[in-house]
Structure 1
Amino acid sequence: MTEGVSNPVAFPAASRHQGEFQRGWTILMPAIVGCAFCMGTLATISIGPFVTALGRDMGWSRTAVQMSLLFGQGFSSLGVIATGLLLDRVGARRLALVGLLATALGLALISFVQSILQFYAIMALTALIGSGASAITWSRAVTAAFDKNRGLALAIVLSGAGIAGVFLPSFLAWVIGGHGWRTGYLALACLPALVAMPIVFLMFRPAETSAIRVRPDSGEPHSRSGRARSGMFLQYRFWVLLISIFCTYCAISGVMPNFIPALTDKGMTLERAAIAQGAFGASLILGRLVVGFLVDRFWAPAIGAVFLTPPALGCLLLTWDPGFSAAVTAALLIGLATGAELDLLALLTSRYFAPHLFSKVYSWVYAAAACAGAASPMMFSWLRDLTGSYDASFYMTAALFLVGGAMLPTLGKYLEKADDR
């Protein structure tokens, strides 16, 4: 047992890195489903199919409907901070079940709303309580169960959101088209209630511990780091990670909701613009898995820089009156970055911070990403209205990608391989 680390996950020394997936599949399976059907995923992916129906039946503008994400993402940023504080006290399993239950109840309640204010209020409250089942909970459990294959395991789990994005829009369009938007929200509520919760309840039993295993070749345990004990706000790596993720998420969250309008403004047909955006979903899943594989074998900050800086070129392509091929290239580059950033957030947090700080650091940085996701789409639209085109926004996001990617190598050596930090 590693001295100075409480309740470590114990495995035979000879098989410490052997068969992690054989041992950890009972963590991975419910985590994938939970990540696919948590509030953060469902609210973002489902809003598109509901926009037209809500506008037709309730008289709400598209902007008014999409503004619900501002409340959802904004209150989610508060929720994940609270989740980070509670994880090591309450446990991932309990928080996950509460979060999924709140998500199901909140989505069901939306089917009864009569005003836009009720819509916003339910979205905000559901995002706040539903954060117990957000990515921080699933990532915390995976980092405790995996070491050698941690990056790939995180990638597999976080790909749950991409998997949901493949089938959910078509499923909701079918339900809404045949039975209306209120039934659509009830059907959406069934996913966390009838699919995710039973699987999580029966299978998800992570080691409730604040210890994340260190590498066997580590010269010292995490807990011996004096700087780690001094608190995350005093560590420059915390600010590097937070600013990098914030910049990257601002760029991603601004581009993707405005991708099709930007292309149609430049003369591309709606159909071809939608096909071009389809490349984004495929490259997101690919980027997530490829990055997860690579960061287990190479220095993760360098991998992050390689994936997060090229989308700057994609943004510049979108300012040059792009043809279809250029638009697809831009979508592929931005999709790869989107697949990389959440994987890197969890992996880098586990490699650069002491185990007892993991949940706190992750929650604060994830909250910054949520704030970026809430504000960036509206900022994009505001700049478009101010200047008459999306070009200024794309130049801004190109700079954000460059800054976010270039900052990561300044993190230096992993904590467990560093000298006294």
Structure 2
Amino acid sequence: MPSAPSRATGEFASGYRLLIACVAGIAFGLVGIAVYSIGAFVDPLGREFGWSRADVQTALLFSSGLGGLFAPVVGHLIERYGARPIALIGLVGVAIGFLLAASNGGQIWLFYLAYALIATLGGGSGPIAWTRAIAGRFDRHRGLALAIALSGTGLIAIVAPPYVVWLTQTFGWRAGFVGVAALPVAIALPLAFLFFRPADRAVRNNAPAAPLDGMTTRQAIGTYRFWVLLGSILAMYLGIAGIIPNLIPALTDKGIAAQSAALATSAFGVSVIVGRLLVGWLVDRFWAPGVAAIILTPAAIGCLILMGQPTLELAVLAAVLIGMAAGAELDLLAFLTARYFGLRGYAKTYGILYAGVALAGGTGPMAFAYVHQMAGSFDTSFAIAAGLFLIGGPAALSLGRYPAMPALVINH
């Protein structure tokens, strides 16, 4: 009988290609590219068309918000047709949406339509397909595998701001959108086509090889843990999503140059990756809600730093603290969904939970920018975000013990 280390090693040996595809898909699919690129377009679009920051940020309500509403449908399609075709179609859909954004002539409704298409046509490239494939392939090191895959958001947080700032400053904002559109089809799509081959036996044979563990989606919704998890992640993501696209404008308002502000955002991206990997390693060994509270709550300190007049060094520290939380949240959502509710209804259950996250992701940036418009600074928004972090982090502690699950059948 193989030892535990050899079983874990075997999981990564057989699944590393899948992991590569998932990292790229999460980085350049719906969940990463729209959020981490829009901050660099705020001021260029404002100068070109006279749009306010709130006007531009509202586009994320259409990408993240509609993406959230569409997430349960994506979960159903994945269970019906398999993750691979849905993810591949989604990557192409994201590119189409950004190309439409590049053709905008000043019509705000057309700009919002472009982001709505990113959500609907690109919905399959969201985290549901990628995390379902990882959760089904990995067992003993599921937390670390999810962390590696979801580190794609940290990768795009590092790459997108300086890349898009360079494109827009050198060639204009239209070239910036075209350059963003190229990423999912030039990088993620080929890798997904080659390596993203989850074991969708139920789809191929019209019957599962063996029953999966856990609850149906209806059973999961009937538990208090579902609502605690939803409330915790909503509070965290409202704050995180509000900060991400507004970090560059907030820092430039405080006298930090745009390129230096983009550097702080890149530091945020590095901390997303570090936080994600650290959390993935920890939840495989320790009680995940405790890990969540320890990693998520200090983001409030980052908000307090940003409420003052931070130097670049302090701004980087604040970005790191918030980035650690941002790195943890999607990893924790996927892990806790699988750990507390099992894989039986994972795609639909995660889809509903992710719908709440995505709606928060869509409303957070708009609300952040609106509060800035009303108050004249971002300090009030940072104070609200700090309060949300102080609620969302500790709330995870009420999830309680892991429930007992039948033995999980891993499909290879």
Query: Is TM more than 0.5 here?
Result: yes
* Matching of residue 83 in structure 1 with residue 68 in structure 2: no
The equivalent residue for 2:146 is: 154
Which of the pair has the greater relative contact order for Cα pairs under 8 Å at 6+ separation? Answer: 2
Amino acid at match of 1:110: A
Distance 2:375 2:166 in 1: 38
Query: Which residue in 1 is equivalent to 2:108?
Result: 116
Query: In the alignment, is the contact (CA less than 8 A) between 1:317 and 1:326 conserved in 2?
Result: yes
Report deviation, 1:199.
Answer: 2.1
How far is the alpha carbon of 1:129 from its aligned partner?
Answer: 2.2
Code of the aligned partner of 1:67 = T
Measured after TM superposition, the shift of residue 177 of structure 1 is: 4.5
Q: Call closer, same or farther: CA 1:254–1:45 in 2, change over 3 Å.
A: closer
Q: Which residue of 2 aligns with 1:215?
A: none
**Residues 307 and 229 of structure 1, relative CA distance in 2, 3 Å threshold:** closer
Structure 1: how far apart are the matches of 2:216 and 2:319?
A: 39
Task: Work out whether 1:319 is the aligned partner of 2:307.
Answer: yes
> For the Cα contact (< 8 Å) 2:26–2:153, is it kept in 1?
yes
Equivalent in the alignment of 1:65: 56
Q: Does 1:361 align with 2:349?
A: yes
Between the aligned residues of both structures, percent identity stands at 47
Q: Which runs of 5+ in 1 are unaligned?
A: 1-10, 212-220
Structure 1 132/12 Cα, relative in aligned 2: closer, same or farther at 3 Å?
A: farther
SS at match of 1:17: helix
Q: Identify which range, 101-110 or 287-296, moves more after superposition.
A: 101-110
- 1:74 alignment partner, one of 60, 65, 68: 65
Q: 1:393 aligns with which of 381, 388, 391?
A: 381
- Which residues of structure 2 form unaligned runs of 5+? 204-210, 407-412
Q: Does residue 132 in structure 1 map to residue 151 in structure 2? A: no
Indicate which of 171, 187, 192 corresponds to 2:179: 187
Instruction: State whether residues 161 and 265 of structure 2, in contact with CA within 8 Å, keep that contact through their aligned partners in structure 1.
Output: no
Bigger shift: 201-210 or 93-102? 201-210
Q: What's 1:38 paired with?
A: 29
CA distance in 1, matches of 2:166, 2:382: 34
The reply on whether 1:283 has 2:283 as its aligned counterpart is: no
Q: Distance in 2 between matches of 1:229 and 1:279?
A: 38
Q: 1:168 is matched with which residue: 157, 160, 172? A: 160
Structure 2: distance between partners of 1:48 and 1:390 = 15
Q: Is the 8 A contact 1:308 1:401 kept in 2?
A: yes
The CA deviation at 1:29 is: 1.3
User: Which is greater in Rg?
Assistant: 1
Note if contact 2:102-2:178 (Cα within 8 Å) is conserved in structure 1.
yes
**Distance between the aligned counterparts of 2:202 and 2:398, measured in 1?**
27
Letter in 1 for 2:95: A
Aligned residue-pair number = 397
Tell me the equivalent position of 1:416.
404
Query: Residue 301 of structure 1 contacts residue 411 of structure 1 at CA under 8 Å; is this kept in 2?
Result: yes
Question: How has the CA–CA distance of structure 1 residues 21 and 79 changed in structure 2, closer, same or farther, with 3 Å as cutoff?
Answer: same
The structural deviation recorded for 1:324 is 4.8
Instruction: Say if 1:391 and 1:45 are closer, same or farther in 2 by CA, change over 3 A.
Output: closer
Relative to structure 1, the CA distance from residue 64 to residue 397 in structure 2 (aligned partners, 3 Å threshold; closer, same or farther) is: closer
Which of 132, 135, 140 pairs up with 1:143?
135
Report if aligned partners of 1:79, 1:129 keep a CA contact under 8 Å in 2: no
1:332 matched to 2:324? The reply is no
With over 3 angstroms needed to count, the CA separation of the structure-2 counterparts of 1:274 and 1:74, relative to structure 1, is same
- The farther-off stretch of 275-284 and 158-167 is 275-284
Alpha carbons 2:54, 2:370 under 8 Å: kept: no
The separation in 2 between residues aligned to 1:78 and 1:164, in whole angstroms, is: 24
Change (3 A) 1:19 1:122: same
Q: Is 199-208 or 55-64 further displaced after alignment?
A: 55-64
Q: 1:313 Cα deviation (Å)?
A: 2.3
Deviation larger for 346-355 or 58-67 = 58-67
> How many angstroms apart in 2 are the aligned matches of 1:150 and 1:182?
40
